[in-house]
């Protein structure tokens, strides 16, 4: 595999994958296809050697452009997505256009040219789970974490359009022999994450002299994974995965939002209770938890960043040292949240 296309490669998770590939796979050339919407930032690719990648600014739903790029590559790794739940509740259409029509356009081109396709998805397609304390196995029993056999039960315009895109890929594998795999990953954190998202919002609030904001009672649980571990897992699946299979990616990082916000405050030398409660998100999923046994046992993957506290400290340091990356957008993001009482 000498040439790959990474869609959404200027976004948070996609750009971290591009850095990972260029740093770890010296023979691979990366074409980044990114629309550079508000969530894409070409500065996320700064510092990469110019002879190892190219940035093509364009839309994954542009059939002519996609066709031209796909016919000259070995694989497509599809990160591009509209991905912020709150935005999907305000205006669902861009989520349908990018997540469903965009994915359709890519898999049709990969089918036409017999190109390997990896589809990056989310654990949110499975809906949510009860809290550990409300389960007979306290979160470790059968059916108490998501697996690739968990039925789809999406709850938002975002997760439903991602579920729709997953099902398109599955159908194209079965109907047309598309050479594809799917991964569903838990919540990522790390460098280059847009400051509207939970962890960087709280970090940049503190750096800006604003109190962090906790949605509702803070009991909602997410299974956090450092984005570098997500990258290594996707590369493992791309190179070793069995066609037609779905692999779940997680690092056993379950934490509730209240614990996360208090840890951020502690790591930034603030009182642990120095936050405000704000309105909860409508339809806020309660708990996500990933069982990544299949990925570990069948493909031999292991996460590197298994200590959430250390990973979070590194992430805080990155935002502290890269204020110019996020500062100009901070006021607009907070004004947007304030309009929703958040």
The domain that holds 106 is classified in CATH as 3.40.50.720
Query: Does residue 218 fall inside a structural domain?
Result: no
| 46 within a domain of the structure (yes/no) | yes
Query: What pLDDT was estimated at residue 183?
Result: 98
Q: What is the pLDDT of residue 90?
A: 87
Domain membership flag for residue 76: yes
Q: Is 329 an annotated catalytic residue?
A: no
Query: Is 323 part of any domain?
Result: no
Q: What is the rounded distance in angstroms from the CA atom of residue 203 to the CA atom of residue 318?
A: 10
18, 30 Cβ separation under 8 angstroms: yes
Structure confidence at residue 175 as a pLDDT band (50, 70, 90): very high
Catalytic entry in 59, 82, 108, 123? 123
Q: What one-character DSSP code corresponds to residue 138?
A: T
pLDDT, tens digit (0-9, with 9 covering 90-100), for 33-52: 999 998 899 999 999 999 99
Say if 180 falls within a structural domain.
Answer: yes
Domain total of the chain? 1
Quick: pLDDT tens for 220-267. Answer: 999 999 999 999 999 999 999 999 999 999 999 999 999 999 999 999
SS3 78: strand
Structural domain includes residue 279? no
Binning pLDDT at 50, 70 and 90, where does residue 302 land?
very high
Catalytic residue (choose from 20, 79, 104, 158)? 158
- Mean pLDDT within 292-315: 96
Cα–Cα distance measured from residue 30 to residue 300, given in angstroms and rounded to the nearest whole number: 25
Q: How confident is the model at residue 330 (pLDDT cuts 50, 70, 90)?
A: very high
Catalytic hit among 82, 108, 124, 285: 124
Asked about 124 being catalytic, the answer comes back as yes
Residue 57 makes CB contacts below 8 A (sequence gap 6+) with: 34, 35, 36
pLDDT for 107 beyond 80:
yes
123 is catalytic: yes
Does the structure show a pLDDT above 80 at 93? yes
DSSP-assigned beta bridge partners for residue 182: 119, 246
Q: Does residue 291 sit within a domain?
A: yes
Mean pLDDT on 164-170: 98
Q: Decide if 313 is inside a domain.
A: no
To which residue do tokens 């750009």 refer? Answer: 15
- Residue 70 sits in which domain range? 3-194+227-253+287-306
Q: Is the pLDDT of residue 19 over 90?
A: yes
């Amino acid at each position: 595999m000498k040439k790959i296309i990474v869609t959404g490669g200027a976004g948070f998770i996609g750009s971290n994958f591009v850095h990972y590939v260029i740093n770890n796979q010296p023979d691979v050339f990366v074409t980044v296809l990114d629309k550079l919407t508000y969530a894409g930032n070409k500065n996320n690719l700064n510092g990469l050697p110019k002879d190892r990648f190219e940035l093509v600014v364009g839309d994954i739903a542009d059939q002519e452009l996609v066709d031209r790029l796909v016919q000259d590559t070995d694989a497509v790794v599809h990160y591009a997505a509209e991905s912020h739940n709150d935005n999907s509740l305000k205006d669902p259409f861009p989520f349908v256009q990018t997540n469903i029509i965009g994915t359709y356009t890519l898999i049709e081109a990969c089918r036409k040219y017999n190109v390997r396709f990896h589809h990056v998805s989310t654990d949110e397609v499975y809906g949510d789970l009860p809290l550990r304390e409300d389960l007979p196995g306290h979160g470790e029993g059968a059916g108490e974490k998501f697996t690739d056999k968990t039925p789809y039960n999406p709850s938002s315009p975002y997760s439903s359009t991602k579920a729709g895109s997953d099902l398109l890929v599955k159908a194209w594998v079965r109907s047309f022999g598309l050479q594809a795999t799917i991964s569903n990953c838990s919540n990522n954190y790390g460098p280059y994450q847009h400051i509207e998202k939970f962890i960087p919002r709280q970090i940049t609030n503190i750096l800006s002299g604003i109190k962090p904001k906790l949605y509702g009672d803070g009991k909602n649980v997410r299974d956090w994974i450092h984005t570098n571990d997500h990258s290594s897992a996707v590369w493992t699946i791309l190179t070793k995965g069995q066609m037609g299979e779905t692999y779940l990616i997680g690092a056993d990082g379950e934490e509730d939002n209240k614990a996360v916000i208090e840890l951020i405050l502690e790591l930034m030398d603030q009182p642990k209770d120095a936050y405000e409660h704000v309105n909860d998100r409508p339809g806020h999923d309660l708990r996500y938890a990933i069982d990544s046994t299949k990925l570990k046992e069948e493909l031999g993957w292991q996460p590197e960043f298994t200590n959430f506290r250390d990973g979070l400290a590194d992430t805080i340091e990155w935002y502290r040292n890269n204020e110019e990356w996020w500062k100009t957008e901070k006021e607009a993001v907070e004004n947007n949240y304030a309009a929703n009482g958040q």
